[in-house]
A and B are shown apart, each in its own frame.
Chain A
């Protein structure tokens, strides 16, 4: 019993889709984050430049990194949930009418 998961999780058919999506989104965010570090190292004076509402680039970029993390997280969750729902439907017994499956699901199950 001790080597069992604290909560057993079922087989997740959307796992590979979510992993791929996660890696892509991670790479996009990493580039934005690296941009922040690079500007500070190469053109630190640029960070003093006023951008909007009297705020300088350092503040705007810093806030953007925080807000972008949340927005990307929400987008990621939306895509993951849609895929999970689609694949759950596709793995259930087909209804007699044989309605077409969502496209994302058919892509994943190919």
Chain B
């Protein structure tokens, strides 16, 4: 049912795209929807464009894992619209034709600006495309049970199809539908989170038994660890600060009345063998084998009895008062060479994730007494802000190979509610100067980045007038602002309801929906998928516009007719789509909102100084604009490539990174402004807009 809903939704989007595509014949229609879109539709389409994978997947995921620090992105993204509305919206509409390059070059007719602005559009679009594609890959795994790469390729192929068949008009309508649906469904999800309230043993409205990680004691004799309850050590792994043990335990298999098999876990949970396991167990019995391993689960036959051997990983946590060793169960994901996975020692279904995150105390209370039932929206946040509310957050502690399996272990840390609900867990506002600089840099890039995003800027050309541009921006602010307030509730809802996948927090929002109802999950996932489709479509239109219109038509002056220009635009869309697919696979696992933050920094560094100075400083010259765009791109991209987070991506230690912070904006944005001013002053003799105009008139 869930998959059918998902496929129907995607089919509807594609059908709409084909229908609208038949109406698009001209370049104006392809790149700017003929400038005929009503401002009300454009406003919600703005929201659809802007509420990308970063907003729904990334922000929710980040809030779910680091609390308020994720909400900083919501605040910054929304604040960026103030810059867009007050400074950029109407002047851009008056200056431009189809693209960002048109606007920046409108007073100069400079080949340098045409080239630099087109390259900038391409680079920013690709930077923004990466997180969207990562988000697409993340979505399909729990819904369809497909690998990450398949999701990325699927989105890439569908979007290339949409853009290549239709252009701006279809992307506008796709954005409109998706933007509206996303806001409505997110609101419904937040209402459900508040109605569910708080519990220290969240069982997802009875849908999923809460997994209580256990504590076990052991005796140490002659350097050997002998755990209680018939467990025995089969492997030991040591990190710099901790020792981890793999403990096996044999569990007797019983035959049920209906002929199926099952075994019983430590706390009495009965685990049935699925059909595949049963068939292989039958095979083992038929062949009279003494032992066999099936789906990562080992079976042993001894004295006529059958046993299933389960393996769990435990962390040594010191000793109790009697000197006995305390072992804490770890959350674990084990992947075999053939790709089959086990979660917490048991075979996993293809679309099953490890899910963690809960409260150990609610405003100082524990157990049944702590359960709140439905709470209001303010009470919800107030309870979480309480210092006596304790949040159990899970982090990856170790990853290694054991017995031919790749094992990743996750351990909990307890954080007080008051620390969750203010900045500091990701962005160290009380840390070193560089860490504080990283925070300022992020907030600066988010504030200034929105107004410099090419796919947002081109939307100003789809409406008929500057006033319509203004009104659609205001409607977008209302819709986006409301959604961003919802992100705080969705992220925190995921944090407390044991739905976070610690291997990839991007899915926290959709998995929160799954904790209520699989149908809601399918709807939310389909919308999120359409979110990715819509944003990627918008970005690819912007990028293809840069190639076909800015580079070929204007920079190379190829005298293309309308039809040729649209054909080249579509070919460019195909190429950019392919690049995005590859990068989406490479960057798997990174938080998509963090990646979008980097795209904002590149946009704010490369484009914003040019736009702002062009509008407000008469001595701005063409060479100044070119220099500022180039310096902005190079400095922002350069700083990102040598940042700690990228070093992790390269497989190196983040401490080796020569740049001590992740967000480049604090350096690259001022640098780009300074470059523009200095170069403009040096070249002001004949390079200003007035001088260019005089030249043109003589």
Binding site for B on A (CB under 8 A): 1-7, 9-10, 12, 15, 18-19, 21-23, 25-26, 29-30, 33, 36-37, 40-41, 44, 47-48, 50, 53-59, 62-63, 65-67, 69-70, 72-74, 76-77, 80-81, 84
Contact = CB atoms under 8 A, between A and B. Distances in A.
B690 to A, nearest CB: 17
B45 interface: no
A67 B341 CA distance: 46
B124 to A, nearest CB: 21
B447 A33 contact: yes
B75 A66 contact: yes
A19 B464 CA distance: 19
Contacts of B436: 41
A63 B478 CA distance: 13
A69 B385 contact: no
B35 A6 contact: yes
Given A6-B97, A6-B461, A41-B439, A56 B86 contact: no
Interface in B79-132: 79, 81-83, 85-87, 90-91, 93-94, 96-98, 102
Contacts of A44: 422-424, 429-430
Nearest to A5: B97
Interface of B: 27-28, 31-36, 68, 71, 74-75, 78-79, 81-83, 85-87, 90-91, 93-94, 96-98, 102, 378-379, 381-383, 385, 387, 418-419, 421-424, 429-430, 436, 439-440, 443, 447, 461-467, 470-471, 473-474, 477-478, 481, 484-485, 488, 549, 553-554, 560, 562, 565, 615-616
A27 B477 CA distance: 18
B27 to A, nearest CB: 6
> Residue among B31, B86, B485 with the most chain A CB within 10 A?
B86
A18 B90 contact: yes
A31 to B, nearest CB: 12
Contacts of B91: 15, 19
Contacts of A23: 86-87, 616
Contacts of B616: 23
A6 B462 contact: yes
Given A37-B440, A50-B385, A7 B465 contact: yes
A18 to B, nearest CB: 6
A41 B68 CA distance: 15
B87 A26 contact: yes
Q: In terms of DSSP, what is the predominant structure of the interface of chain A?
A: helix
Given A23-B86, A40-B429, A62-B488, 18 more contacts: A6-B31, A6-B34, A6-B35, A12-B94, A15-B91, A19-B91, A26-B83, A37-B440, A44-B423, A54-B385, A55-B381, A55-B382, A56-B421, A70-B474, A73-B81, A73-B477, A81-B467, A84-B467
B487 to A, nearest CB: 11
B379 A29 contact: no
A66 B96 contact: no
Nearest to A77: B474
Given A7-B34, A7-B36, A12-B94, A76 B86 contact: yes
A37 B418 contact: no
Contacts, number: 170
Given A6-B35, A40-B429, A56-B421, A62 B382 contact: no
Contact of A58 (B27, B102, B422): B422
Given A26-B82, A26-B87, A47-B422, A53 B429 contact: no
A53 B562 CA distance: 59
A19 B215 CA distance: 65
Nearest to B436: A41
Given A1-B562, A3-B97, A7-B461, A22 B85 contact: yes
A41 B32 CA distance: 43
18 contacts: A2-B27, A2-B560, A3-B554, A5-B96, A5-B461, A7-B465, A9-B465, A12-B466, A23-B616, A40-B429, A48-B387, A54-B381, A55-B378, A59-B421, A62-B71, A65-B78, A70-B474, A76-B474
Contacts of A5: 35, 96-97, 461
What are the 7 A-B residue pairs with the smallest beta carbon separation, nearest first?
A: A7-B35, A54-B382, A6-B32, A6-B35, A22-B86, A47-B422, A26-B86
Contact of A66 (B78, B90, B467, B473): B78
A15 B95 CA distance: 12
Nearest to B35: A7
A4 B28 CA distance: 9
A48 B388 CA distance: 13
Contacts of A57: 422
Contacts of A33: 79, 443, 447
A70 B549 CA distance: 35
A73 B473 contact: yes
A63 B485 contact: yes
A36 B473 CA distance: 24
Contacts of A2: 27, 549, 553, 560, 562, 565
B381 A59 contact: yes
Contacts of B32: 6-7
B93 A9 contact: yes
A56 B97 CA distance: 46
Given A6-B461, A29-B82, A66 B74 contact: yes
A53 B381 CA distance: 9
A29 B481 contact: no
A6 B28 contact: yes
Given A6-B461, A26-B87, A77 B562 contact: no
Contacts of A81: 467
Given A23-B87, A55-B378, A65-B75, A77 B385 contact: no
Contacts of B79: 29, 33, 65, 69
Given A3-B97, A6-B35, A9-B466, A72 B422 contact: no
A26 B102 CA distance: 25
A66 B485 contact: yes
B43 to A, nearest CB: 11
Contact of A22 (B28, B87, B443, B462): B87
Contacts of A30: 447
Given A6-B34, A6-B461, A69-B81, A37 B443 contact: yes
Given A6-B31, A48-B422, A69-B81, A36 B75 contact: yes
Contacts of B385: 48, 50, 54-56, 59
Nearest to A59: B381
A3 B102 CA distance: 8
A76 B473 CA distance: 12
A92 B395 CA distance: 68
> Residue among B35, B75, B615 with the most chain A CB within 10 A?
B75
Nearest to B554: A3
> Residue among B85, B422, B424, B488 with the most chain A CB within 10 A?
B422
